[in-house]
Amino acid sequence: MAALSALDEGRVPDRPVFRAAVRALLTGLAERAPGRSVEVRVPPYGAVQCVPGPRHTRGTPPNVVEMDPETWLRVATGAVSWAKAVTEGRVRVSGVRADLAAYLPL
């Protein structure tokens, strides 16, 4: 909540607060969508593998979702819809399994 409040006020959250919020929500996504077929990246704070399906083990994953920390917080909490974030180019997706709409917001 502290990270979202800071963003809503036009401030950048303190780095430890931002990191903790991003990682907590990534963990929540991995619990909600267990699996290893999609890699969700939120640089520089974290990444998880999730979503049921074929497991990826080496090299560049075929299904990748990547976004900045602010976008991740807003999408994960429902402040911005998945579809809107993707349409606006705030989320980069590749692969046939990279649609997280069924799992968001958390």
| Closest of 21, 48, 25 to residue 37, by C-alpha | 48
Name, in order, each residue with C-beta under 8 angstroms of 94's C-beta and a sequence gap of 6 or more: 62, 63, 64
27 three-class SS: helix
pLDDT at 82: 97
Indicate the number of domains in the chain. Answer: 1
Look at residue 59 in the predicted model and tell me its pLDDT.
74
pLDDT value of residue 58: 73
Which pLDDT does position 62 carry in this prediction?
86
List the domain range (segments joined by +) for residue 84.
2-103
Query: Consecutive sets of 10 residues in the chain, 106 residues long: mean pLDDT of each?
Result: 93 96 98 95 97 79 94 97 97 95 97
What pLDDT, on a 0 to 100 scale, did the predictor assign at position 54?
82
The domain that holds 90 is classified in CATH as 3.30.1050.40
Map tokens 């974030």 to a residue. Answer: 85
